[in-house]
Amino acid sequence: MIRPALDWQPRAASKAYSDIRYDFAEGIARIVINRPERRNAFRPETVAQLIDATHQAQFDPEVGVIVLCGAGHEAFCSGGDQTVRGDDGGYHDEAGMPHLNVLDLQMQIRRCPKPVVAMVAGYAIGGGHVLHLVCDLTIAADNARFGQTGPRVGSFDAGLGAGLMARTIGMKRAKEIWLLCRQYDAAAALAMGLVNIVVPLPEVEEETVRWCRDMLRLSPMALRMIKAGFNADTDGLAGIQELAGNATGLFYMTEEGQEGRNAWLEKRPPDFSKYRRRP
Ligand SMILES: CC(C)(COP(=O)(O)OP(=O)(O)OC[C@H]1O[C@@H](n2cnc3c(N)ncnc32)[C@H](O)[C@@H]1OP(=O)(O)O)[C@@H](O)C(=O)NCCC(=O)NCCSC(=O)c1cc(O)c2ccccc2c1O
């Protein structure tokens, strides 16, 4: 069993969710995939709720760090719910519409300016494995098991699932994971750099909270910029846009940036003469 480390309180939005829980404590938002009877496999509704909760956490000024985890200790997430996978290009929502919306969630986690930590107990498999991979840090319990199943179940994630994994653990290892569909225990995952730390299962939340508290003591802007910087080249122009948007935001906070806006509003030529041309 996992020892609770904080007195998590449900956030208001949580009431609207059927497949996830959304809690908060001490500056940390905790988003829990809550389908333990399916090893926390996600259906389109689950992903839509994860997207909504991540959005809530991003825009909540009280939240500094986000933790993503699964309910119970048997699984973080076992990927797409195969029982609702249709023949028409995606996983069916209750109205029968096909989705691959986990790809949107992956990018949302990467673009979120706050650190996102995967707390993995049990299986992180298939699309669930890619979910921990796109998080900034992974704290694993010693019962964690990792792997891709795509080529076995007729699927693949040739985007971040392949490319980001190769950048994280190296090309040969990434190809091994995808081409053989084996499972790896927590020690093996740590050895190949797939996770940051492995701790005994009961301590996994305490350890995760310890890491979150460390980040909560640091400069939010510096964390935001360094995260965008880490992701920029992998995400191509969209990644550079994220980094550049942060730079623009910072420039808007300067007098020099504000002089341009003020001059335009006051219908006068801008006067940038007092601003240094820095070497
Ligand atoms: C995760 C497991 C290794 C766990 O094994 P274990 O023996 O502990 O448990 P059970 O197998 O008995 O499972 C318990 C219970 O849960 C159900 N369940 C488990 N996983 C799923 C699932 N993914 N979908 C639906 N249901 C699931 C299982 O049927 C049992 O219920 P019963 O009622 O039958 O008792 C093992 O369960 C396992 O290997 N699961 C499947 C893992 C898998 O293949 N996942 C899908 C990979 S593909 C994917 O995730 C994916 C999703 C996307 O949205 C993509 C989008 C774009 C590109 C690619 C995508 C993609 O690849």
Which domains occur in the chain, in start order?
9-218 (3.90.226.10), 221-265 (1.10.12.10)
Which residue type sits at 197? I
Residue 225, both tokens: 């910029």
Residue 42 alpha carbon to ligand 1 centre in Å: 9
Query: Measured from the CA of 79, which atom of ligand 1 is nearest?
Result: 50
Residue 248, both tokens: 């623009």
What ipTM was reported for this prediction?
A: 0.99
How far is 256 from 276, CA to CA, in rounded Å?
Answer: 10
Which residue type sits at 179? L
User: Residues enclosing ligand 1, CB less than 6 A?
Assistant: 38-39, 41, 75, 78-83, 91, 100, 102-103, 123, 125-127, 149-150, 153, 155, 157
How far is 110 from 243, CA to CA, in rounded Å?
Answer: 12
Please write down the HEC assignment for all residues of 207-259.
HHHHHHHHHHCCCHHHHHHHHHHHHHCCCHHHHHHHHHHHHHHHHHCCHHHHH
How far is 81 from 90, CA to CA, in rounded Å?
Answer: 11
Distances, alpha carbon 250 to alpha carbons 25, 96, 253, 264, in Å? 29, 44, 5, 20
Query: Measured from the CA of 38, which atom of ligand 1 is nearest?
Result: 16
Give the residue ranges of the annotated binding site for substrate: 39, 78-82, 91, 123-127, 149, 155, 252, 267
How far is 71 from 129, CA to CA, in rounded Å?
Answer: 15
Per-residue pLDDT, 9: 97
Which residue type sits at 279? P
How far is 38 from 17, CA to CA, in rounded Å?
Answer: 17
Give the residue ranges of the annotated binding site: 39, 78-82, 91, 123-127, 148-150, 155, 252, 267
Per-residue pLDDT, 259: 98
Name which of 105, 6, 118 is nearest 54 in CA terms: 105
pLDDT less than 50: residues of the chain: none
- 98 strand-pairing partners: 92
Which residues are within 8 A (CB) of 30 and not within 5 positions of it... i.e. 6 or more apart?
8, 21, 22, 23, 24, 66, 67, 69
Per-residue pLDDT, 14: 87
Per-residue pLDDT, 13: 86
pTM of the model: 0.97
Backbone angles phi, psi at 96, to 5 degrees: 90, 10
**Cβ neighbour number for residue 159 with a 10 Å cutoff:** 12
* Rounded CA Rg of the chain: 21
Per-residue pLDDT, 112: 98
Indicate the top mutation candidate among 34, 37, 39, 103 to test ligand 1's pocket, ranked by most ligand atoms within 8 A of CB. 39
How far is 154 from 266, CA to CA, in rounded Å?
Answer: 62
Residue 124 alpha carbon to ligand 1 centre in Å: 10
Per-residue pLDDT, 146: 98
Residue 38 alpha carbon to ligand 1 centre in Å: 7
How far is 144 from 165, CA to CA, in rounded Å?
Answer: 18
CA atoms within 13 A on the CB side of 168: 26
Per-residue pLDDT, 170: 98
Residue 123 alpha carbon to ligand 1 centre in Å: 10
